Amino acid sequence: MTDASVAALWQKFRLQNPTAPEKPVAVFHFCDNHDDAETCLRLVLSGKKRATAASLKELELSGDPVPTVGDYSVVTDYAGKAHAVIETTGVEITRFADVDEQFARTEGEGDLTLAWWREAHAAYFSRVLQGTGTAVDDDLPIACEHFKVVLAAETR
């Protein structure tokens, strides 16, 4: 069940943007655990996190679409409470090995280095793709999404 805050935030966004679609493309929290999800949410709301990465297999398994420029999504905390509407501003599909230092910095996590990004994301992809038969290696296809916050909830 979706938290009522998602519908309320989306309605507020649509009132300010009447040409926006009836529903967001996705409603999600970052990461696969409470602490990381909350950290990423704080980074988004502070403006430090302006990108995210998902494996194409992860998206397929979850039923989420590959992001496209112009998509609007609602970002929630780990419990499902809505905190922001984001707009996808860029997407590049690339191999895990080809993610670069600039993207790692834009993602805004850890120490902002590519080394940290690779280690953290290899661990994450290994967890979420466990048991799927998908190899987490240099050739893993990744959707590197850039976004901007277009509406933040009033309170956290």
Residue 19: CATH number of its domain: 3.10.400.10
User: What whole-number percentage of the chain has pLDDT above 70?
Assistant: 98
**Contact by Cβ (8 Å): 129, 55:** yes
Span 54-58, average pLDDT:
97
**Alpha-carbon separation of residue 143 from 44, 51, 92, 122, 131 (angstroms):** 18, 10, 6, 14, 21
Number of folded domains that form the chain: 1
Check residue 154 and give its pLDDT: 81
Span 97-113, average pLDDT:
98
Check residue 155 and give its pLDDT: 62
The whole-model pTM stands at: 0.94
Q: Which residue has the higher pLDDT, 64 or 13?
A: 13
pLDDT band at 1 (very low <50, low <70, confident <90, very high): very low
If phi > 0 it is left, if psi is from -120 to 50 it is alpha, else beta; for residue 140 that is beta
The 8-class DSSP code of residue 65 comes to P
Q: Radius of gyration over alpha carbons of the chain, in Å? A: 15
1 burial via Cβ count (<10 Å: 0-12, 13-18, 19+): exposed
What is the rounded CA–CA span in Å between residue 9 and residue 37? 19
- State whether residue 67 is helix, strand or coil: coil
Length of the chain: 156
Span 112-133, average pLDDT:
97
Check residue 2 and give its pLDDT: 75
Structural domain of 131: 4-152
